[in-house]
């Protein structure tokens, strides 16, 4: 693969939890401006891979490179400045805070924290606050949640909470956006909306890495798909090819066979 | 944006109330009552800091009396031993308390829930025991006697009424700073850290820095309040800074509403008044205190201010704007 086109490279990553081998020398190269799907049965190691990329877990071996630069011992909060932000499989919004406040947290690293100016309500802090608000509103407008800004996030439907989390990740202005099952719990209309959003992100120069169970979503938006099973990469390629890949079919059907036993 | 508008209006009403409070000494002529109001004002400063710490970042501290004690002793000793003027001594005491806040905040960032509570209880007790046993400096159990009075612009603050204005001015500044912190990016980030550390970290928040800074801020508030307390009382001893005192601060914080700056004021004044009213039945005081706390936690977890907001939200006529 052309190296210049790779924005995020995962190289021979392994991670064990006790006796469980969650990821076993997995390598994935994610091309710039692509929508890269990561699929696999439950427990295949997909979310573990996200947690490793975002520094929430440390790998036992292997490394990551972003635009050719290795990222080592980077703490999770520093990764946003490097240009990676994520959403979570089980929505992790800040409860009790408004939609706007939630998304403004996404702007955290992009606005200065002028402590002195904040104390005296100075111009610097006010303009930073306004800038953060504008960016947050833009992100909310993009996902179609601009009307609910003052609402408490607890009162939103599941699908809308996912959209707010999506907006929060976008407000962090990432180059690489990691979406962990963004369509889970969404109804068909909401899924359609989400697909359109992801497609338009690709046109806007983002790179999206997507964990998803819903094959319809994967087939519709992903340009490349990597399949994980039991911590190993089974296959990688275009979605059309992956769908017919015998190993992949076996992994998925095999799982349901065991499920009945 | 309506919620912001009505919040602004609430704040304006609150500030008006505070200004009206200026005239209190003309109505409250009983010196004992004025003394209680002054004490309540000093406690409010401690609770303001505690609300930022436990209400906003969710780090519950039962050791605020320790920071309060450090403020009192540092400023008192500086004034007594080196005749440093009140404001310089007070500033140094505030900074010193802040340093101790950092010292406690660093281990505390790894702790949460009951473990953090225990660690802060330990800190409060250590401070008290050091004050009790470091006799050459702190005069031990006898405490310090004859702490100098503060001077403001060449004017010596002597009477309860003078102190009333000094404390009120400090309180206004304290409330303003606390409101600014709570209402800004810092306060928002604190709340995010409290709600979900992992998600806040994933959004680029250096959670350790924020958690420690909250400890430092709360310690500085307590330290400054302590320096006022020393000069206000004129005498002090380790008995003023027991575990009960820390629990009292936490009760004020929770009962008033710990995720609100106005709540700190309500809690501190309310509980100081109740506690003085109950002085006649000394033995039952803690029972009643405890009952109020249990009632608050179960029926109005957001404190009196939460109840107030709920009432305004549910029973007010639809706003005209």
Question: Which domains, from first to last, does chain A contain?
Answer: 1-83+174-261 (3.40.50.300), 93-173 (no CATH)
C-beta separation of A225 from A39 below 8 A? yes
Q: Which 8-state DSSP code applies to residue B52?
A: I
Structural domain contains residue B188: yes
Structural domain contains residue B210: yes
Structural domain contains residue B320: no
Provide ipTM, 2 decimals.
0.87
Query: Measured between beta carbons, which residues in chain A are less than 8 angstroms from residue B192?
Result: 94, 97, 102, 105
Question: Residue B196 is nearest to which of A92, A111, A150, comparing CB atoms?
Answer: A92
Alpha helix stretches (DSSP H) within B196-284? 197-202, 207-233, 243-256, 261-277
Per-position pLDDT tens, chain A of length 261: 455 688 888 888 889 888 888 888 888 999 988 999 998 888 888 889 999 988 888 889 888 988 888 888 788 888 898 899 999 988 999 998 999 999 999 998 888 887 888 888 788 888 888 899 999 999 999 999 888 888 899 999 888 999 999 999 999 999 999 999 988 888 889 899 999 999 888 888 899 999 988 777 888 889 999 988 888 888 888 888 888 888 887 777 665 444 443
Helix (H) or strand (E) holding B287, with range, is helix B285-299
**What sign does the dihedral B118-B123-B126-B127 (CA atoms) show?**
negative
Per-position pLDDT tens, chain B of length 321: 445 556 677 777 777 777 777 777 777 778 888 899 999 999 999 999 999 999 999 899 999 999 999 999 999 999 999 989 999 999 999 999 999 999 999 988 888 888 999 999 999 999 999 999 998 888 888 888 888 888 887 788 888 888 888 999 899 899 999 998 998 999 999 999 999 999 999 999 999 999 999 999 999 999 999 999 999 998 999 999 999 889 889 989 998 888 888 899 999 999 898 888 888 887 777 788 788 888 888 888 888 888 888 887 776 554 433
- Domains in chain B, number: 1
Query: Per the CB < 8 Å rule, is A97 touching B195?
Result: yes
Size of interface A-B (CB pairs under 8 A): 95
What residue numbers bound the domain in which B58 lies?
A: 2-315
Structural domain contains residue B118: yes
Structural domain contains residue B282: yes
Q: What is the CATH number of the domain that holds B152?
A: 1.10.3470
- Nearest to B105, CA basis, from B250, B243, B219: B219
Non-local CB neighbours of A20 within 8 Å, separated by 6+ positions: none
Structural domain contains residue B207: yes
Cα separation, A218 vs B251, whole angstroms? 53
Write down the pLDDT at residue B305: 85
Question: Residue B184 is nearest to which of A56, A106, A125, comparing CB atoms?
Answer: A125
Non-local CB neighbours of B13 within 8 Å, separated by 6+ positions: none
A111 has a chain B CB within 8 A of its CB: yes
Query: Measured between beta carbons, which residues in chain A are less than 8 angstroms from residue B1?
Result: 150
Structural domain contains residue B321: no
Query: Per the CB < 8 Å rule, is A109 touching B204?
Result: yes
Structural domain contains residue B130: yes
Query: Per the CB < 8 Å rule, is A129 touching B184?
Result: yes
Pick the residue of B202, B221, B306 with the most A CBs within 10 A to test the interface with A by mutation. B202
Helix (H) or strand (E) holding B21, with range, is helix B2-21
C-beta separation of B264 from B51 below 8 A? yes
Query: Measured between beta carbons, which residues in chain B are less than 8 angstroms from residue A140?
Result: none
Listed in order, strand segments (DSSP E) in chain B are 144-145, 151-152, 155-156, 235-236
The CA-atom distances, in angstroms, between B11 and each of A100, B4, B17 are: 21, 10, 10
Query: If you search the block for the tokens 């993009």, which residue do you land on?
Result: A142
The pTM is what? 0.88
Helix (H) or strand (E) holding B109, with range, is none
User: What does the pLDDT look like over A205-226, one tens digit per residue?
Assistant: 899 999 988 777 888 889 999 9
Question: Residue A105 is nearest to which of B2, B188, B198, comparing CB atoms?
Answer: B188
Cα separation, A251 vs A154, whole angstroms? 37
């Amino acid at each position: 693969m052309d190296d210049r086109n790779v924005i995020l490279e995962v190289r021979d990553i392994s991670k064990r939890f006790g006796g469980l081998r969650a990821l076993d020398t997995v390598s994935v190269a994610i091309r710039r401006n692509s929508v890269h799907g990561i699929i696999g049965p439950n427990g295949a190691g997909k979310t573990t891979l996200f947690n490793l990329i975002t520094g929430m877990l440390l790998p036992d071996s292997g490394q990551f490179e972003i635009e050719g630069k290795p990222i080592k011992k980077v703490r999770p909060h520093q990764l946003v400045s490097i240009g990676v932000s994520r959403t979570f499989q089980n929505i992790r919004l800040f409860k009790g805070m408004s939609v706007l406040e939630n998304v403004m947290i996404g702007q955290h690293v992009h606005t200065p924290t002028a402590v002195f100016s904040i104390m005296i309500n100075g111009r610097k802090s006010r303009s930073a606050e306004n800038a953060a608000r504008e960016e947050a509103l833009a992100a909310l407008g993009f996902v179609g949640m601009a009307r609910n800004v003052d609402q408490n996030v607890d009162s939103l439907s599941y699908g809308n909470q996912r959209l707010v989390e999506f907006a929060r990740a976008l407000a962090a202005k990432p180059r690489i956006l990691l979406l962990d099952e963004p369509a889970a719990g969404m109804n068909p209309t909401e899924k359609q909306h989400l697909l359109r959003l992801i497609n338009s992100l690709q046109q806007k120069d983002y790179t999206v890495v997507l964990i998803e169970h819903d094959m319809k979503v994967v087939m519709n938006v992903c340009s490349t798909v990597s399949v994980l099973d039991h911590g190993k990469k089974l296959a990688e390629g275009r979605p059309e090819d992956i769908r017919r890949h015998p190993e992949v079919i076996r992994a998925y059907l095999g799982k349901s066979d065991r499920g009945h036993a | 944006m309506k919620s912001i508008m009505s919040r602004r209006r609430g704040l304006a009403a609150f500030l008006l109330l505070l200004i009206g409070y200026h005239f209190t000494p003309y109505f409250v002529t009983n010196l004992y009552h004025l003394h209680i109001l002054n004490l309540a004002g000093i406690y409010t400063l401690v609770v303001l800091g505690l609300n930022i710490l436990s209400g906003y970042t969710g780090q519950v501290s039962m050791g605020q009396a320790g920071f309060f004690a450090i403020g009192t002793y540092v400023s008192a000793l500086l004034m007594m031993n080196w005749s440093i003027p009140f404001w310089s001594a007070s500033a140094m005491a505030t900074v010193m308390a802040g340093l101790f806040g950092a010292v406690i905040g660093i281990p505390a960032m790894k702790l949460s829930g009951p473990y953090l509570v225990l660690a802060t209880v330990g800190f409060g007790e250590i401070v008290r025991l050091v004050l009790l046993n470091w006799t050459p400096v702190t005069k031990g159990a006898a405490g310090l006697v004859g702490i100098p009075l503060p001077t403001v612009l060449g004017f010596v603050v002597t009477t309860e009424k003078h102190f009333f204005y000094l404390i009120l001015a400090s309180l206004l500044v304290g409330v303003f700073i606390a409101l600014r912190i709570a209402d800004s990016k810092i306060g928002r980030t604190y709340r995010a850290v409290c709600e979900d550390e992992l998600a806040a970290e994933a959004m680029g928040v250096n959670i350790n820095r924020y958690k420690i800074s909250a400890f430092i801020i709360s310690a500085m508030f307590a330290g400054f309040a302590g320096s006022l307390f020393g000069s206000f009382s004129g005498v002090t001893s380790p008995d003023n800074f027991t575990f009960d005192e820390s629990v009292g601060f936490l009760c004020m914080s929770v009962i008033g509403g710990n995720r609100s700056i106005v709540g700190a004021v309500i809690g501190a004044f309310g509980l100081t008044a109740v506690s003085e009213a109950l002085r006649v039945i000394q033995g039952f005081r803690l029972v009643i205190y405890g009952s109020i706390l249990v009632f608050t936690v179960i029926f109005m977890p957001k404190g009196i201010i939460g109840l107030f907001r709920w009432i305004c939200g549910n029973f007010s006529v639809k706003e005209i704007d």
